[in-house]
A and B are shown apart, each in its own frame.
Chain A
Amino acid sequence: MPQDALLRLEAVSKCFPGGVVGLDSVDLDIEHGEFLSLLGPSGCGKTTNLRVMAGFETPTTGRVVLAGRDITSLRPFDRPVNTVFQDYALFPHMNVAENVGFGLSLRRVPAAEQKKQVAAALDMVGLGDKIRARVAELSGGQRQRVALARAIVCKPRILLLDEPLSALDAHLREYMQMELKRLQSSLGMTFVMVTHDQTEALSISDRIVVMNKGRIEQIASPAALYDRPATRFVAGFIGTMNLLDARFVGRDGALLRYLSGDLPLELSADANALATDGQMHTIGIRPEDLVANPQAGAATAPAKINSIVFHGRALRMHASTAGGAALVIDAPRQAMQPAFDVGDIVHVSQRPGASCVILAA
């Protein structure tokens, strides 16, 4: 393994008293200057993972290495890492400037320099005019930004954010997502953000770590995660995906051919997938990569429409094949000529040029 990752978790496990497994042998490399999101359902260990990085939890086994230095047993105050807490954790007995200057005052930064940096940090988050305000006078969004300023003013090697936007309303949240992204790239700082909102993770992350039951399911860029989910869990968690049991029927150059019931599927094998004839795999295909044709064709399978749901630019059809497999198909609304109805038989095919993916259990 190369030694250039900024933060590396090596086989980190965390068992809580009572036998709850918070983290299960997590390996993770965080690169300089990236925006990494930890994504997963409630209770999957995202917060625990972040707290191990911050130093609030000591791993039961495994190592935490920051820029080549083992920091596994360092206390939080000895780590060049800062956290934005989910409840912001602003000190109610200090005003905004004192909150933001707290970290600097502990580092023995001269008072004049402190003032300058506090003002700069507050300007950066757009709260330059609130420097003398009391915490109780701030709105939720403003508190969030003070918490952000308080952490970045310490110039951490890594900024950890635990669901920083979850307490904000939808409008403000979208705005703050862009703000976070802008801050991160203008500072060139490494951000690690916990979220359970896949849209949020997909829209602002450089890479996403999908976690489930204390384990890492997949680490990938948003596009790769969407296009090539590695496991059933990721496929089900990110967007909507049809999970189909399919039989391998042959190879055609770089294309692998499968048959799911009567529905022929093909996927381009970039890896040297060693499939043998007759082998069963779970294949994932997005609803928009399926086409509902009015007429039967060479590579179509009949399916009966059970329901049609309006989905903005597409109509989402739930259909079932003769073999009983449930399909979700997104049809662009203009292309619905002629219109289908519930109960109709359509002939489903894979959209030409679209690929599907093999999913691990």
Chain B
Amino acid sequence: MNQKKERLRKLWVSLLGVCVLGLAVYAADSLGWIDNYIRGIFIQCCFAIIMVTSLNLVMGYLGQIALGHAGFMAVGAYTSALVTKAIGLGIKAGAILPMSNVMQFFIGLLCGAVAAALFGLVVGIPALRLRGDYLAIITLGFGEIIRVIIQNLAFAGGKGLANGQAGQALVGILKMNDIYVIFGVTAVCVAIMLAFVRSKFGRAIIAIREDDIASSSAGLNITFYKVLTFTVSAFFAGIAGAIYAHRGLGTLQHSDFTFLKSTEYVIMVVLGGMGSMTGSVVAAIILSVIPEALRAFSQYRMLIYSVILVLMMIFRPIGLFGNYEFSLYELLRGKLTGKPPRSGRSAAKGGA
């Protein structure tokens, strides 16, 4: 069947694309270009990509403003860090069979993701009854609540609920800064989210964004799809948190997850284009690298973001990509066969 062939070809092209990127990293690594500094920026790009693409599910596809994404990242970060710490202690005590760091990291990452998803579910059920500004405010509130609770947990480095003071950092976290592992995790996360939006789920979510009354009249259980999206989004924020926690510094502070962090990711989503996964990836990379490149002005970062955002709203309010999806397959197809590339989504189709 023709469609089947095209599907396979698409899959191969995507895999090829990912492999080429991986090889580029490998080449840079072999040439000794990747020192600890570059490694840090690379990892920062990776978790930013996961944060922004997952937030885009809620903001771009579901069309709801959520300002508490860093809260779910915090849940993932702390859960995974505590799990890998526990595994480490267990191995030392001989209670658990020794395993590689990567294995420990993956167990922590999965636990962090599931914990964040649970929080997403618990927050999403009441919060998603609201919409627009109200949802923005309540998610902001929940994000801060999560952070303040963590701040006061004794086992998370804080001084305990009784003291209620600013906590210390959680220290002695496993290091997992292997760029290939992190690159692989990021690629898989983005692929899963792309698959999610290109299924009945993505279709349903976009329909709900377009018109919720019409959606329920077409048989969609709106609450289900909204809460599901929120939960999936939190799940991936948890993964990003796990990467963040193990990025190699060994410490974790609740102040890494303030609502300003959430706002940063919101800005990246808007910059990349609401409803474009590839746009989110590009925006996450740009806005992670720029502040590093302009290290000297680092305290002006939020200012720079704001200016970029204002300029964006004036000159290109739909974001860099709008809802266009970059596709290597379509690009190659265009170049090789001379056919014009088809548009990424429906944006350009139709019209009289």
A and B held together in a complex: no
